[in-house]
Structure 1
Amino acid sequence: MTSDNTVSSIGTVWDSHATTAQTSLDHFFAADGPQFLNNYYPAGDNTTFNYWWLAHVLDVRLDAYIRTGDQHWLEQALQTHANILERNGGSLYNDYFDDMLWNALAILRLHDATGDDRYLRLSQDLWQHVVDHGWNDVLGPSVAWRKQQLYYKNTPANGPFVILSARLAARTGEKPVLELGLAAYEWLTRILVRADGFVEDGINRNQDGRIDVQWRYTYNQALYIGAGVALTQATGSSTFRRQATLTALTAIQELADDGLFRTEGAGGDEGLFKGIYYRYLDTLLATLDPSSPPYTTLSTFVRRSTDALWAHCQVDDWLLAGDDWSGPAPSTVAYSTQLSAIMALEARAALERRELRIY
């Protein structure tokens, strides 16, 4: 057994690495007042309110709380939720259905962590808002990307809708919620998922019925993986997990370069994409037979890529990650990229804990 798997009082050294990544978010990006986190390090242009980035901050703080039981991380999650409300005029609604769905998924986990039904209701309200304003029959029953483009359908909107629908139905038993999730999954599979499991981004952006095959993103694969796992848990059908596994394997074949997902674009949003893959790959790994070939391939990918992340992105006693983990961070870093590093290290910590049966 290597030193990276050594059991300690808190689990493994990867628990410690994940905590370092979490505290490094504050070290490098913390800001006063309603800004909460600077968009970049070093601090620069903060004019953009990155609502959906903050939804993932809420998610990673809950990861840390669930892993450690430390109330500090739950308080951080609650503060993040409050900051989103404060900066969004007291509302959780905006024009982008995918943004709201990311938030609803994180808030549902906040309900699970606290037992407070207010958060369950908020998540349900967001789900209903998306259905009321974004669900339509253009190119088949599914969710539009945003209110200004109800004709444009994509994976970033329908993927989290499926996951949220399945998770809500599992908690509430509401069959109509699950039925809409299944309908969106069927649409996504039929329209945007290739036979080899690769997931395309969207269709009809220019009202021409064309699929955008040029945007090959890890988070599209992640969402289909997460949807398959969530539907397996909600329905008991292993078909969804088999499809999720195919997509997880194909994503590595198609998108990884020498064992790493590298830079996916020029903007800050793309920095989050691979972290979302690690989040939902972790939910899949937790359900697979550890002796199976897919588990071996996928868990090896997690280990090798996070080994590279930890080896190359340390700065003194902190972690600062760029988009490419084969080297140190560039001179300017968006906190979206730090979130991806946190999600990857939380996935690695969870993997090691499960294999060592540390709960």
Structure 2
Amino acid sequence: MKKVFYVMAMSMLITAVSCSKGTEGTKPVDTKPVETTPTSFTAADATTAYTAFNRYFYNTSAKLYYSTTRRDGLAAIWTQAIYWDMAMNVYERTKDPAQLTMINDMYQGGFNQYDGYNWDNTTTWFIYDDMMWWVMALARANQLTGNDVYLQKAIAGFNRVWNGSYDPANGGMFWDFKHSGKNACINYPTVIAAMRLYKITGDASYLDKAKLIYSWSKANLMDAVTGRIADHKIGNNAPGYEDYTYNQGTAIGAAVALYKETKEVGYLDDAKLVAGYTQTKMGSNGLLPAEGDFNEQGVLKAIFAQYMVQLITDGGQSQYLDWVRTNINTGWKNRDTDRNLTFRNYAIHCPTGDIQSYEASSIVTFMQLCPPQQ
């Protein structure tokens, strides 16, 4: 993801700001909050939501997604990996053979659009975290399909990022080619990718790298008292704390992955602490924050969904289930009922005009992952 840098006048220290995206067209006007109590979503609703998302955003020729309902340009490179994860979620939920075709089609779409996943192309790939989102998705696609091509692309991508991003002197992963800072959006995804590759290959070096980066991240990017995740760490400066759901989510995902493998309860405790901060300190009235003012931040809660639900299912933490379902039910209740599209701000009706795939993605993702209330 692109970041915006600014200079602090007093200290002259550089601080990296994650996901400060430019605008794309004219943003929709938010409507008044809705007061009605939502009913519980169903499995059929999850299918309806995904079908609608594809109808309005999927480019059947490019086999990738548009950025908005105008359908006049593709979504950002890193967000396509998040949408690919969504397709895999649907396949895991439904086991529909047509969805397996969708997974393979999206791989080909990325192959065609991004120079065959040539990780050495520094025009296509211009920051490390963009690569790592795809590495995570490629590894998962191999786990689901058994396609060795996906695994080899994931391994090559991981090696490219590790060799260019890892700081052997001071630890941690740099998010950009200029090594200007170490952000949560590269460090925690590196742990998740390494754990997936370890599970696939059995190569213990991936587990070692996952533990190494997690340890650095916990020491430098996590408030061990509150569970708040810092967005970035620049040199020897204090961590830059800014609340983003995707950073909270990938921190949870990294901790859960390590807990599942090692059974060390400390990792699970970390995941619960981070989840607790997100639940109690971010957003309002029990709803997650409405990130993404017509920019790529709209996709952040789709990433959070991926790993928050893993804490519930893989981590056995059902105490968060009602909270997650409340978010889903509220967002789905407030959808644009003509199009069945959902919005980044769950508390208001989805605007009826042009909206982004980014801001329409998170409720759809949550619905594929979270079991409906029986």
TM (norm. structure 1) is: 0.86
Question: Which sections of structure 1, spanning at least 5 residues, go unmatched?
Answer: 6-12
RMSD: 2.1
CA, structure 1 residues 35+169, in 2 after alignment: closer, same or farther (shift >3 Å)? closer
CA offsets per residue over residues 267-306 of structure 1, 9 Å max, x none? 42211111211110111101344xxxx632x111111111
Q: Percent identity?
A: 23
Q: C-alpha distance in 1, partners of 2:315/2:189?
A: 22
Corresponding residue to 1:203 among 233, 251, 255: 233
Deviation of 1:258 after TM superposition, in Å, equals: 0.7
Deviation of 1:4 after TM superposition, in Å, equals: 7.0
Q: C-alpha distance in 2, partners of 1:75/1:326?
A: 35
Structure 2 counterpart of 1:142: 172
Corresponding residue to 2:205 among 171, 176, 193: 176
Asked whether the 8 Å contact 2:63–2:105 carries over to 1, the reply is no
SS, match of residue 71 in structure 2: coil
Asked whether the 8 Å contact 2:260–2:315 carries over to 1, the reply is no
Q: C-alpha distance in 2, partners of 1:314/1:333?
A: 11
Structure 2 counterpart of 1:117: 148
Corresponding residue to 1:240 among 264, 267, 284: 267
CA offsets per residue over residues 244-285 of structure 1, 9 Å max, x none? 011101111111211111322434221111121111011110
Asked whether the 8 Å contact 2:82–2:302 carries over to 1, the reply is no
Structure 2 counterpart of 1:8: none
Structure 2 counterpart of 1:325: 346
Asked whether the 8 Å contact 2:128–2:165 carries over to 1, the reply is yes
- Greater CA drift, 191-200 or 261-270: 261-270
Amino acid in the other structure paired with 1:217? Y
Deviation of 1:241 after TM superposition, in Å, equals: 0.9
Pairing of 1:230-269 with structure 2 (within 5 A):
230-269=257-296
SS, match of residue 145 in structure 1: coil
Asked whether the 8 Å contact 1:169–1:234 carries over to 2, the reply is no
SS, match of residue 174 in structure 2: strand
Structure 1 counterpart of 2:132: 101
Deviation of 1:30 after TM superposition, in Å, equals: 3.0
Higher relative contact order (CA 8 A, sep 6+): 2
Deviation of 1:168 after TM superposition, in Å, equals: 1.4
Q: C-alpha distance in 2, partners of 1:228/1:127?
A: 19
CA, structure 1 residues 35+73, in 2 after alignment: closer, same or farther (shift >3 Å)? closer
Structure 2 counterpart of 1:70: 96
CA, structure 1 residues 304+49, in 2 after alignment: closer, same or farther (shift >3 Å)? closer
Question: Is the aligned partner of 1:88 residue 2:114?
Answer: yes
SS, match of residue 127 in structure 1: helix
Q: C-alpha distance in 2, partners of 1:241/1:150?
A: 31
Paired residues in the alignment total 330
Corresponding residue to 2:192 among 163, 187, 202: 163
CA offsets per residue over residues 170-228 of structure 1, 9 Å max, x none? 22221211111111111110011002111010011xx6724322x21011110110000
Q: C-alpha distance in 2, partners of 1:110/1:265?
A: 28
Amino acid in the other structure paired with 2:263? G
Asked whether the 8 Å contact 2:57–2:357 carries over to 1, the reply is yes
Asked whether the 8 Å contact 2:332–2:363 carries over to 1, the reply is no
TM (norm. structure 2) is: 0.83
Amino acid in the other structure paired with 2:56? F
Asked whether the 8 Å contact 2:65–2:75 carries over to 1, the reply is no
Deviation of 1:127 after TM superposition, in Å, equals: 1.0
Deviation of 1:130 after TM superposition, in Å, equals: 0.8
